[in-house]
Amino acid sequence: MEQEKDSGRIGIGAYIALAAAVLFFSGLFMKVDGMKWLSAFDFTTLGGTFGTMKDPANNTFIGAGGVSAKAGFLFSLSLAPTVMLALGALEILTHYGAIKAAHKLLTPLLQPLLGIPGKTGLALITDLQSTDAGAALTKELYDAGEIDLKELTIMGAWQYSGAGMINNYFAIGSALFAVLTAPVIIPLFIMFVLKFVGGMFVRFVLNTVYKEDFKNEKQSS
């Protein structure tokens, strides 16, 4: 391909790509009688449609009936204010020393169990309510050099297991509360404990099976 580029020659692959682009963006595949499956290769179909305000009193700005990428994009916008609020609050709290306090208080717990410093505590706590804000704070810690790659991986495992645990449990799991034979707090506590089990398991794997992959990283005690 490099030779074709340097010599100015255009190969058959380029013409195939051009044809695919024309078909994808032209709308020819959008409605083909007897071959509806072709619409899966059409830009308009994949882009989807915005929802409509059929019931303004109950609909959000997303509307109702939106499909595909546009509905997904609008849904992501609805999450932005929550994430921004969480990150803004954490930024203020961090300015006043919240991370330093977390490091001092939580290191004795997190270091032996997960091999991560206490300064990660705020990110883990935030993840209990908002996966997006927890992930963003974790990224900030890694980008600032506060945690290394191994610690980042362990944190990711802890957060991924039962992500947004409290929020999702009471928002979605509440549908099953009526049939629970145990107190509502018991399943929540079990999930919380299992988050640590998952993180500890990943730590063990990284320190054994994938030990060589992190030989240049700062080792956690």
Specify the DSSP class assigned to residue 30: S
C-beta of residue 30 within 8 angstroms of C-beta of residue 37: no
Tens of pLDDT, residue by residue over 49-96, are: 545 555 555 555 555 555 556 666 666 666 666 667 666 766 776 777
Which residues have a Cβ under 8 Å from the Cβ of 71 and sit 6 or more positions away? 48, 50, 51, 62
| Mean pLDDT over each residue of the chain, to the nearest integer | 75
Q: How far apart are CA 199 and CA 111, in angstroms?
A: 12
Supply 34's token pair: 């007897």
Q: Which of 1-5, 16-20, 39-43, 125-129 has the lowest mean pLDDT?
A: 1-5
Quickly state the pLDDT bin for 185 (edges 50, 70, 90).
confident
To the question of pTM greater than 0.75 for the whole model, the response is no
Q: What distance, in Å, lies between the first and last C-alpha atoms of the chain? A: 49
Instruction: Give me the pLDDT at residue 220, please.
Output: 45
Instruction: Give me the pLDDT at residue 69, please.
Output: 60
Q: How far apart are CA 148 and CA 212, in angstroms?
A: 15
